[in-house]
Structure 1
Amino acid sequence: MAKATAVIPPDEVERRLKAELPKWRLEDGWIRRTYKTQSWKSTLMVINTVGHLAEAAWHHPDITASYAWVEVRLMSHDAKGITDRDFSLAKKIEDVVQWQPGADEATGLEGTPQGDQRFAYVKYD
């Protein structure tokens, strides 16, 4: 089992969020991010993505969801505060959920079709 890391003071958390994760915020002792989605289907896809990353990292967020949004909250329960583990997982979640291929990528992945609600997914920032 991993040792608890040091709790980061709130002013340092705020500074790091601004620099490293500008869409995340510190509120009530958690770092939080709300992802807007297009439908229940995409909400569930985001939840499952976060769940997979959290389980692989063995660091589990709290998640709240509705039809068209998902809120992810991170805090290291064992340390009773925000630690580097929270920042690491938040960055991985952000990278994966906000990733979108483009037509200019050499991989040939073109991304979700735009303009057709049948294929609507995350509302990217």
Structure 2
Amino acid sequence: MSQSEHVYSDDEIRARLAGPLEHWYLEDGWLRRKYKTESWKGTLMVVATIGHLAEAAWHHPDLTVSYAFVIVKLKTHTAKGITDKDFALARKIEEVVQWQPGREGGPLEGTPSDDQRFRYIKYDAPKDASQS
């Protein structure tokens, strides 16, 4: 870090979590997100994906890993708070982990969700979507 980075206030952070980061939240000075998985296989796939993205970005989250979930915690340690780096990595993680190609209408059909043998992550519906 060659220059000081802007550390966002709690109110600024909450405002920036709207939209694509709506499933992320602020707790104890960290940006956090819990990804629910279908099994250990899904958990390992999520962890490996986050690991790749974090290493490529050279910005490393703290992870809590369990059989059916992964909790991601982001903070810029050198700035002692939440900075643009944290929001950028959170957006990239969200984009990749929650990607559902079958919903895009392109040639990639996506993982079958109607067969438990293939499901690996529990995708989130938008928070404002009506519950069924």
Fold equivalence (TM over 0.5): yes
Quote the residue 2:129 is aligned against. Answer: none
Distance in structure 2 (CA, Å) of the matches to 1:53 and 1:9 = 26
Runs of 5+ consecutive residues of structure 2 not aligned to the other structure: 125-132
Alignment pair present for 1:110 and 2:109: yes
Distance in structure 1 (CA, Å) of the matches to 2:82 and 2:123 = 26
**1:103 shift after superposition:** 6.5
Quote the residue 1:123 is aligned against. Answer: 122
**1:19 shift after superposition:** 4.2
Task: Show the 5 A alignment for 1:31-42.
Answer: 31-42=31-42
Quote the residue 1:11 is aligned against. Answer: 11
Three-state SS of the structure 2 residue aligned to 1:5 is: coil
Distance 1:103 1:73, change over 3 A: closer
**1:109 shift after superposition:** 0.9
Quote the residue 2:81 is aligned against. Answer: 81
Distance 1:20 1:123, change over 3 A: closer
Deviations 1:52-73 (A, max 9, x none): 0000000000000111100000
Return structure 1 stretches of 4+ with deviation > 3 angstroms: 1-4
**1:115 shift after superposition:** 1.9
**1:5 shift after superposition:** 1.4
Distance in structure 2 (CA, Å) of the matches to 1:103 and 1:67 = 27
Q: Is the 8 A contact 1:39 1:121 kept in 2?
A: yes
Quote the residue 2:98 is aligned against. Answer: 98
**1:111 shift after superposition:** 0.8
Three-state SS of the structure 1 residue aligned to 2:102 is: coil
Quote the residue 2:61 is aligned against. Answer: 61
Q: TM-score, normalised by structure 2?
A: 0.88
Q: Is the 8 A contact 1:6 1:83 kept in 2?
A: yes
Distance in structure 1 (CA, Å) of the matches to 2:61 and 2:103 = 33
Identity of aligned residues (%): 64
Distance in structure 1 (CA, Å) of the matches to 2:104 and 2:87 = 30
**1:114 shift after superposition:** 2.2
The number of aligned residues is 124
Distance in structure 2 (CA, Å) of the matches to 1:81 and 1:70 = 22
